[in-house]
Amino acid sequence: MPILVMKFGGTSVANLDRIANAAKKVETEVARGYDVIVIVSAMSGETNKLVGYVEGTSKLYDAREYDAVVSSGENVTAGLMALRLQEMGIPARSWQGWQVPINTTSAHGNARFLSIPRDNIDAKFAEGFKVAVVAGFQGVSDEGRITTLGRGGSDTTAVAFAAAFGAERCDIYTDVDGVYTTDPRISAKARKLDRIAFEEMLELASLGAKVLQTRSVELAMRYKVRLRVLSSFEETDAASGTLVCDEEEIMESKVVSGVAFSREEAKITLFTIEDRPGIAAAIFGPLAQAGVNVDMIVQNISEKDYDDDHPGAVTDMTFSCPINQVDRATKALEDAQAAGLIRYDELIIDTEVAKVSVVGIGMRSHAGVAAKMFAALSKEGINIKVISTSEIKISVLIDRKYMELAVQALHDVFGLDKA
């Protein structure tokens, strides 16, 4: 039998009615002749609640116990989905990560897949079961402990199963009907894309478009999984949603395909550091060791003989990181200062920033995208604090209060509302 993977996100399994609605979509695919692997998220809001319980109990919590707690939301929906399908006369069985087993690294809270052996689920399909319902977001380490894959990780579970089982397609059912030019909750002019290239989706996801977890796109690209995003609340057919595919399969050629944003950013400046070989290593080494994900970096031009306290050349270094890592970053820098590894006069922390990015594979062959982007922001009076670019994206850090305005302006200037 051909195999199909269908993933239902939190809002799609938020209550018993929604689970029943999702089960009907599964029934349709079973009737078409598929053996179906269903991946479920926890009911919406559930994982946040569980994270809150953990943080309310222990500030510097043991990540193994964090995983034990926060993985549990998916266990509930997996069992309920299997029960609902059984009620509809469809032979279904639920699987928690350890039962499959979904083998992962032991990086608790952010584990990666090692292997997904097919044997157990294949044996159930061979017995006549039509649906395997698998709890998303979780796995088991080689120490036999439950792990989780990072927030939004059920997308990655779905793609990994599609790859492991050679599924015909991996359908990600969610609360929007596809991937849009930007988050449709931010811009009413956002337009649904029929197709998007893996590379572009990868950038959009990693720059904040949470419609797919970044690693799910990475895996789909590597294992050539046909990945589709579609609505669990609408009637859907073979043409619904957005297909994430190779760039050769895309007709539409826009220079910019999408605008992404992330509110959860912070900017840290080390004021008056020595400008000498090794200073960047002395700053970013301790940050890396503390597990801080540094994103954008800028260093000022150097000033000679700044004052009597600062003989030689001094400069300032600014970087951005996720807002929830500011405490960790500050501590790492203060410790490095105390240990005499670096010397600065002040740490200036700005937690009121956001990152806005434009993404498109067309940028590879078009000049002037950055200039157009900066002009559009300037027209709105938006000041740019940090800039970073890659082959197919340009990101800017700006005041968070201007984030939505910036997204709208960029969406307009690159004509994303027009097909």
Positions that interact with ligand ASP (CB under 6 A):
9-10, 41-42, 47, 73, 136-137, 151-155
Of 151 and 310, which CB lies nearer to ligand ASP in the complex structure? 151
Alpha helices in 272-355 (DSSP H): 279-289, 326-338
Are 64 and 108 in contact, with CB atoms under 8 Å apart? yes
- Residue 169 neighbours by CB under 8 Å, 6+ apart: 4, 5, 162, 225, 226, 227, 228
| 321: contact with ligand ADP by CB under 6 A | no
Binding-site size, Mg ion (CB under 5 A):
2
| Contacted entry of ligand ADP, ligand ASP, Mg ion, none for residue 29, CB cut-off 5 to 8 Å set by kind | none
The residue with its CB nearest to ligand ADP is 9
Show the site string, 80-99: x = touches ligand ADP by CB under 6 A, - = not.
Answer: --------------------
User: Cα–Cα distance between 329 and 55 in angstroms, integer?
Assistant: 19
Smallest CA-to-CA distance from 227 within 219, 348, 109, 119 is with 219
| 209: contact with ligand ADP by CB under 6 A | yes
Of 261 and 402, which CB lies nearer to ligand ADP in the complex structure? 261
User: Cα–Cα distance between 128 and 191 in angstroms, integer?
Assistant: 42
| Contacted entry of Mg ion, ligand ASP, ligand ADP, none for residue 137, CB cut-off 5 to 8 Å set by kind | ligand ASP
Residue choice 175, 274, 335, 404 for contact with ligand ADP (CB under 6 A)? 175
Whole-number minimum distance, CB 261 to ligand ADP, in Å? Answer: 8
Name the burial class of residue 180, with classes exposed (0-12), middle (13-18) and buried (19+) by CB atoms within 10 angstroms of its CB.
buried
Stretch that binds ligand ADP, among 89-97, 169-177, 270-278, 360-368 (CB under 6 A): 169-177
Sign of the CA dihedral with 72 first, then 75, 80, and 83 last: negative
One-character DSSP codes across 346-361: EEEEEEEEEEEEEE-G
Show the site string, 149-178: x = touches Mg ion by CB under 5 A, - = not.
Answer: ---x--------------------------
Smallest CA-to-CA distance from 262 within 296, 311, 217 is with 296
Smallest CA-to-CA distance from 115 within 161, 154, 75, 70 is with 161
Identify residues 37-76 at the interface with ligand ADP (CB under 6 A).
41
| Contacted entry of ligand ASP, Mg ion, ligand ADP, none for residue 153, CB cut-off 5 to 8 Å set by kind | ligand ASP
Q: Which two three-digit tokens encode residue 222? A: 């590597």
Of 139 and 152, which CB lies nearer to Mg ion in the complex structure? 152
Q: Give the footprint of ligand ADP on this chain (CB under 6 A).
A: 9-12, 41, 152, 174-176, 179-180, 182-185, 204, 209-211, 258
